[in-house]
Each structure stands twice: as C-alpha cells, then as structure tokens.
Copies of this chain bind each other. A is one copy, B any other.
C-alpha cells in the first residue's frame, strides 16, 4: 500500500500500521517531516529549520514495514491501482492521500508573485531573508518615503498564523533588530494586521480573541478590521475601499486550500479543493480502498461543517485509517466510525502571552503561554529537538536575542541540472 505525505496524518497512519501485515511505501516531496505549528518561529528568525524539521527516514527507523520514497505525485490510475510519481510508478492495494494544504491566493497571480506565504519551510526561509534584507535596505536609504515603505509589513489574515507571526515579528523588531540597526528608529516600523471581519482568532471564543487583540496592540501591531486587500502592486497594497498603503512586504495568511495532487480524475471536491470522504471510514467517496485524511480531506464534523485543518484532526484520522486497513487486511469487521475528539486549540502572541481553550477551560497570559509551551515541546518529534528548542527559547527569553538572522541560500554548481538539490 501507498501513503502520500509525511505530515502529521501520513506519519500517524504509518505508525498505526507498524504491526499490521502490510508493506507500506510512504511518499513525500521533501525528505523531512515539518512541525508546522512552529513554522512562524523560523520565519521570525527564532528557530533553525532543523529545530522543527526532522528527516522522515530517521522517524521511520522504528517502522520496519515502511519504505520511504522522495517523489512528487503526478497522478493516480484508480482503475489499475497505480500511483504515478516523478520517480516511477507504484502499485497499491490501499492508497492514503495525506498531502495537507498550501497557501492559496485564490488564483490571483499578481498576489502569488508578490506576497510571502507561511505554509512550508521554503516560504519561511524566504520570509526570514526578506525581513532582514528590507532592514538592510532601510539602513542605507536617504529617502524617508522609501524607508517607511521598506519598514511597513502588511500581514493579511488574523487567524492563528497571522496573529502569531505579527507578535513574533514585533518582538524581533523591538528587541533584536532595534539593537542591530542603531540607525533605524524602530518606532517607525509599521506592522499592520489586516482582517476582513471585525475580530482576531475568529475560531476561538470571543473573549480569547479580544485578549489576543489587546496583546497585539500592546506590542505596537496596528490592526485593520473589516479591510480586504484587493490588489498588490510594486511597493503598494490596495484595499477594497480604495485606500492605499505603501508597503514593500506583504505576508499572506488569509487563504489556504487543500494541496491535492494533480491527476485525480473523477474525485469529488468541496470548498478549498478538499476531497469528499465517507465520515465513518475516511474513504474517498466513490473510490473504495482510497482514503483521504487531514487538511486534504473534507470530513464533516458533528455540526456537519468540515473539520478544521489542524494537526490533531490529521493525527486522529491517520489512526482511524490504520485501524480500517488493518481490519480489512485481517478480513475482520472495521472499527467504530470515526469521531473527532477536540482537545482544544491555542495560539501564542509572542513572549509569554498565549491564549488557549481546552474544553470548558479558557487560558490566557502567562498561564496560557506555559500551557502552549508545554504542549508544543511535548509534541515535537524527537527528544533532541525538544531539548535544543528549549535551549533556544530559554536563550531568547533571557537575552532577547535571535541568533538565526542569516540570509543564505544553497549555491549548487551552475551548469548541470543533475547538480541541483531539487527533485526531478
């Protein structure tokens, strides 16, 4: 059988099948599993990529019946049971699609070409380099208008990613870059969080959203409610109201859609391009033995709306699919229908402020932050990562320093395509 995607859902499936009588091939386009909830900390130069990314092969060492293949999926031949990949075809009896989600610009090419996304490691590294680079540019310009535009950061979307990045960016600017760039008056730095509706963290309880909003304002983040971006030009953001804002950097966290592989003819999609699945077994509607889990799947929750695109859903669905496949392999009846257990959600607004809702519990401030820290550290894949991340944080907490402020890209030999560290 084949599992596509080494995110939370795919790894959960593979681990659940560790003792089953199946031979699993796990495909991913990257050679690492990414702990996405901390991605914004790479983009704000607090963590190294290796703090939140872990090689898939090293995770799979304890799973003898699973083989990894670095590849992108080009399509699926459902009739013959074949996955077509960039590195050859693979036959399957069971297929699990766990390809996650990606930044969506709603087809707006101008937006895609000018905005920074914050969904994968490459995007986070590019954003980190961009922030450092505009500060370098601002330090040498003599034009106040140009400097103002260079130091204006427009973050679109006040969901968890937008809120967490706005808070982290503000701390980077006011505590670290302020000392690195003595020529720049950081009071002139404008971090603008743009939200189409009238509140931040819309998915949280209203009280927690207001606390996060207050924490952001204390950090100097300007919040524009009821604003929508209609256009992005070179150095300028245009709102639906017609208002303009001179800004050289825009971060787009307002759109996400399923990262469905190409070539899935005849598969039913719902909003955000998610794949419609049977809510009990997570099988793709109309395709027996093909499953979709996590962000890529549209699985109705108790209120009939699709379950949110968060890690716990993907993990629990991976466990369910593993149970379904293991039962079928043994010729037994399947497990009880899938039911998502919501263990709560949380978001952090920088150093020692976070909001969390866990069942009836509502936490905020330092207590919320301690909870947030504990949950995330415990969830990180390996012990080494946990320890190093903790040291990195402790260092930052005590010294207010972010040591990862590097602008760097790989430079492969120039002539041959084979020399490039990219996929075929």
Contacts and interface: CB of A to CB of B under 8 A. Distances in A.
Interface of A: 30-32, 48-50, 53-55, 57-58, 61, 67, 69-70, 87-88, 109-110, 112-116, 120-123, 125-126, 129-130, 132-133, 136, 139-140, 179-181, 183, 234-235, 248, 382, 384-385, 387-388, 391-392, 395, 401, 403-416, 418-419, 421-422
B116 A50 contact: no
A125 B415 contact: no
A53 B129 contact: no
Given A69-B140, A87-B140, A140-B69, A410 B31 contact: no
22 contacts: A31-B132, A48-B49, A48-B50, A50-B406, A53-B408, A55-B403, A58-B179, A61-B180, A88-B140, A110-B415, A114-B413, A114-B415, A114-B416, A116-B413, A125-B410, A126-B411, A126-B413, A130-B412, A130-B419, A235-B418, A388-B392, A409-B421
Contacts of A139: 69
A301 to B, nearest CB: 33
Given A31-B407, A410-B125, A180 B55 contact: yes
Given A122-B408, A125-B421, 5 more contacts: A87-B140, A122-B411, A384-B395, A387-B391, A388-B388
B32 A406 contact: yes
Contacts of A179: 58, 61
Given A61-B180, A114-B419, A391-B388, A55 B130 contact: no
A114 B419 CA distance: 7
A404 B50 CA distance: 6
A321 B3 CA distance: 62
Contacts of A410: 122, 125-126, 129, 409
A160 B87 CA distance: 38
A137 B391 CA distance: 36
Contacts of A126: 410-413, 419, 421
Contacts of A235: 418
A422 B409 contact: yes
Contact of A385 (B32, B54, B140, B403): B403
B113 A414 contact: yes
A113 B180 contact: no
Given A112-B413, A403-B385, A411-B126, A31 B391 contact: no
A51 to B, nearest CB: 8
Contacts of A406: 31-32, 49-50, 53, 55, 121
B385 A113 contact: no
Contacts of A69: 139-140
A415 B112 contact: yes
A68 to B, nearest CB: 8
A235 B114 CA distance: 39
Nearest to A55: B405
A86 B388 CA distance: 38
A23 to B, nearest CB: 13
- Nearest 6 pairs of A and B residues by beta carbon: A113-B415, A129-B421, A122-B411, A57-B180, A125-B410, A126-B410
Nearest to A31: B407
